[in-house]
Structure 1
Amino acid sequence: MQSKFSKYEFTVLSIVLVSYFMTVLDVSVVITALPKIQTDLHLSTANLTWVQNAYTIIFGGLLLLGGRLGDIAGRKRIFNLGLIIFGLGSLLVGLANNTIWLIIARGFQGAGAAALAPFILALLMDSIPIGEKRIRAVADYGAVAGIGASLGLVIGGLFASLLSWRYAFFVNVPIAIGMFIWSTKVVRSSKSQKGSFDGLGSVLSLIGMISLVYGILLLSDRASAWYWIGLAIVLLALFVWREAKVKQPIMPLRVFKNSERTGSYLARLLFLGAMMAFWFFITQFLQEVYGFSPLMAGLGFFPMTIANFISALQVSKLTAKFGNGMTLVFGLSLTIIGMFWLSFVGNGSNYILAIALPMILIGAGQGAALSPLTTAGIAQIDAQDAGAASGIVNVAHQVGGSLGLTILVVLSTFFAGSSDLVSRTDWALRGGVIFLILALLLTFIMIVPKKG
């Protein structure tokens, strides 16, 4: 008989899932809305890319800092601060009337998301005990990661086509206010850790992560990208050296001593790289090749969203029967088959056969994979390091998406040229298949042996 959540546990889980959905949604909601944003604000192509990049850079750059800050200052306090910043940033994005305003506001949103994301998962770990309840809660968390990204494409297209792209951001404001009031009244404060804050480590990680994400984003078209990536490598190497020496690190290296956790971070990098390329290229393909409107392109992802939702609901049962590692193997295998099938979309088949059917496999695979990846990423973690581990899970999620997408854009352009979207889509998805196969191999080597 399944254990039921207590009233408090259910309330915290609801706050966690709604807040996480809000941050995940904002990564993808802008994709189908970008053409309308460009038209309304008369943005150049270069400036348009920064509408997404400003959010990604600040989000990725501040994640480690935000994760450790909550461990020391108290997770509820930082979580609520993140809600305020994210809600205000969303309001400013919706009100933007020029390029600079829009880009700065998107960066402000990213800062709020960086404060929220590590503690969304840490709050779940604080409030729900290890066991069947924790497995079910993490499964729900993983489901939101996939469904939120897919649904964001639909919502972005819906507002862009029927109302205004601004409403896709305005809707976050009342949600953030409601979450803040709810969290203030309900969520119990975690104990703050005593000790000093590693200021130098914070600066090294912040500048290093921003340099890495920025360099990755420039990689496809600028030689200067390698200078930024080189700077990032130096700074992050100094950061690791610093973390090994300091008494109060913002990223305790002991988090990586567990091979299951380390394997999950690497596999998540690869998985998100493949998935980000899938969302990016198929969204363009539906609009430019099939002639879909932004709304129809968003709705075109519905088969995946539904399959993701159904699959995610079964994760706790699959995990209980087969273990966390083998459930992850199952999810990755389905995603590989679906992605490989979809990589022949350029052959001219219709939407149902070429896109909808493989999307069902990809959605089912994603629903079955993200929760086990999250579970492995926080496996056997001490309470004092929960925020740091959660931050690393989110760093892998964000950096994996940016790095993977950039690599696959470069790969597809190399093989197909810059003007042939159909061939580039095929090649990018085939590269995504390789990423997923590598993630599957890592799972067999580092996660499955843990018998979980």
Structure 2
Amino acid sequence: MPFSSLRPARTRAHDLPTELHTELPTELPADAGRAATGIAVVLLAQLMLVLDATVVNVALPRIDADLGFGPASLSWVLNGYTLAFGGLLLLGGRLGDVRGRLRMFQIGLTVFTLFSFLGGLAQTPTQLVLARALQGAGAAMAAPSVLALLTTSAPDQAARNRALALFGAVSSAGASLGLLLGGVVTDLGSWRWTLFINVPIGLAVLVLVPRFVAETPRRPGRFDLVGALTATLGAVAIVWSLIGTPEHGWLSGRTVAGFAAGLVLLAVLARTEVRHPHPLVQPHLLRDRERVVALAAMALVIGANLSMFFLVVQYDELVLGFGPFATGLAFLPFSLGVFAMSRVTPWLITRMGPRRMVLTGTAALVVGYVWLSGLTGTDDYLGSVFGPVLIAGLSTGFVFMPITATVLSDVEPEHAGSASGLLQTTQQLGAAVGVAAIVSVYAAGAVPGQFLPGLRAAFLTSAGFSLVAFLVTAIALRPRRAPATVTALEPDRAPVADAA
């Protein structure tokens, strides 16, 4: 019996003897080149979708000067994208399962590319915010299909592990690359090019993807309309409440009412999903303890990362005097750290297992954020910022692949889109929670006209997020002894489960 058909009964990769992990294919499949090209094309689209959440950050002052937003409404250039993206991901994942993942990927990417172009032409604040929201809607339709297309395009287990590692690298480094790209095009051209740059990339992907990526089978079944509405509106209500907390406060009527509405809608969703024959979110996906723990760890790591971006960008510009390009360049160590780790995490996961990798990475994140909490007005970049930013990049790259593999472990092929949507919804909610919490902590200690007061407490809060991720992983992902017996694995099950 070939090795690929073996799987330990009721266990995961971190329970297996090391020798079982080291046997990888020694010959490339006949279609390996085509598969690799398909994976590269899909990852390029994922990078574009992720970096667009931050690419306009460093251009915000020039957008404000050009279109006249005002301080209260300027944040909606970012929030419009986040709100639509985070609110519609679950719906996008289920549509991919039912209608075909390649089809939904193409539709979503078309919408995203079109409104990138129209956003670059915007002449009023309303036009730009509307275009950003519709960009986010297109991204939510395309993004959940990315993971499913990656795993189906990979010809073997080794290729699938590498694809997951690159997906983690692209997803985690995309935010910092967005800052760098935004700084370059804003300094050299105009803020409008932060949107226009998506157009040629989107068109190239749309032309190439049908040639190198095969459609996945459609899963017939009655569409869960109530689940779609409650999941979308519930997620939108929670994200809307979170992004408003720095301005309105955690106990304001707006925030409390938004959270209450979101929780009621999610309660209706939970009740609906248990009863519906074809639910939007499969209840069994959330009954797996390890999957839930991995989702929680992902949310905490993302929340800490995005809050770090928010604070370090301002420190670089307001304290160190960096311009948009230099600020983006200052995050290059983070991106390089993430991509460097993506080269070794497929090898490391077979030897360390997800649990030890996540523990190591989150512990290092705590160290990096505690280091940043000591920033002062007399520090320089190389002495006080470069080191912790590099640590954050290496550590993030270390944890993303094992978390992603754990979330997708043992997911039936027909539910891969839903699981991917659940993972990426968790990332968006984690980002919103992290930024809202850290900004609120910062604001509590801030002094008008000064940036440094409140900074220490904010970075220590980021360290606290990472520490909680470490503790949750240590407590809930306990290693278990591998069973003595080995049972056959159905040939059509995704081998990525073996890596988690």
TM-score w.r.t. the length of structure 2 is 0.87
1:100 partnered with 2:126: yes
1:409 alignment partner, one of 431, 439, 450: 439
Could you say which residue in structure 2 is the equivalent of 1:69? 95
Moved more, 122-131 or 21-30: 122-131
Moved more, 28-37 or 415-424: 415-424
Alignment of 1:73-222 (within 5 A): 73-128=99-154, 131-222=157-248
Between structures 1 and 2, the one with greater helix share: 1
1:442 partnered with 2:472: yes
1:325-362 deviation line (CA, Å, top 9, x unaligned)? 21222222222211111111136322111100111111
Q: Which has the larger radius of gyration?
A: 2
Aligned mates of 2:240, 2:46 — CA distance in 1: 24
Aligned mates of 1:221, 1:103 — CA distance in 2: 18
1:379 alignment partner, one of 399, 409, 427: 409
Aligned mates of 1:164, 1:450 — CA distance in 2: 55
Structure 2: give runs of 5+ residues left out of the alignment.
1-23, 482-499
Report the residue type matching 1:255 in the other structure. Answer: L
Report the residue type matching 1:424 in the other structure. Answer: G
Aligned mates of 1:350, 1:261 — CA distance in 2: 41
Aligned mates of 1:294, 1:220 — CA distance in 2: 24
Deviation at 1:367, TM superposition (A): 1.2
Contact 1:90 1:172 in 2 (8 A): yes
Report the residue type matching 1:272 in the other structure. Answer: I
Alignment of 1:241-280 (within 5 A): 241-280=271-310
Deviation at 1:45, TM superposition (A): 1.2
Name the SS for the 1:38 alignment partner: helix
Could you say which residue in structure 2 is the equivalent of 1:392? 422
Structure 1 runs, 4 residues or longer, greater than 6 Å off: none
Contact 1:376 1:447 in 2 (8 A): no
Structure 1: give runs of 5+ residues left out of the alignment.
none
1:13 partnered with 2:39: yes
Aligned mates of 2:438, 2:449 — CA distance in 1: 15
Could you say which residue in structure 1 is the equivalent of 2:73? 47
Name the SS for the 1:421 alignment partner: coil
Deviation at 1:419, TM superposition (A): 4.7
Could you say which residue in structure 1 is the equivalent of 2:262? 232
Name the SS for the 1:247 alignment partner: coil
Aligned mates of 1:397, 1:418 — CA distance in 2: 32
Aligned mates of 2:90, 2:457 — CA distance in 1: 33
Name the SS for the 2:246 alignment partner: coil
1:135-172 deviation line (CA, Å, top 9, x unaligned)? 11100111111222111111111111121111121111
Gap change, CA 1:450 and 1:305, over 3 Å in 2 = farther
Aligned mates of 1:33, 1:401 — CA distance in 2: 20
1:15-39 deviation line (CA, Å, top 9, x unaligned)? 2210110011101111111111111
Aligned mates of 2:25, 2:456 — CA distance in 1: 44
Moved more, 390-399 or 342-351: 342-351
Deviation at 1:423, TM superposition (A): 2.6
Could you say which residue in structure 1 is the equivalent of 2:57? 31
Could you say which residue in structure 1 is the equivalent of 2:338? 308
1:368 alignment partner, one of 370, 394, 398: 398
Name the SS for the 2:321 alignment partner: coil
Aligned mates of 2:388, 2:33 — CA distance in 1: 39
Gap change, CA 1:63 and 1:210, over 3 Å in 2 = same
1:327 partnered with 2:357: yes
How big is the alpha-carbon RMSD for the aligned residues of Structure 1 and Structure 2? 1.6
1:317 partnered with 2:347: yes
Contact 1:125 1:386 in 2 (8 A): no
Report the residue type matching 1:421 in the other structure. Answer: F
Deviation at 1:417, TM superposition (A): 4.6
Could you say which residue in structure 1 is the equivalent of 2:488? none
Report the residue type matching 2:296 in the other structure. Answer: L
Deviation at 1:317, TM superposition (A): 1.8
Report the residue type matching 1:445 in the other structure. Answer: I
1:31-87 deviation line (CA, Å, top 9, x unaligned)? 111111111112111221100000000101100011001101111110100110010
Moved more, 179-188 or 272-281: 179-188
TM-score w.r.t. the length of structure 1 is 0.97
Name the SS for the 1:90 alignment partner: helix
Gap change, CA 1:176 and 1:450, over 3 Å in 2 = farther
Moved more, 278-287 or 408-417: 408-417
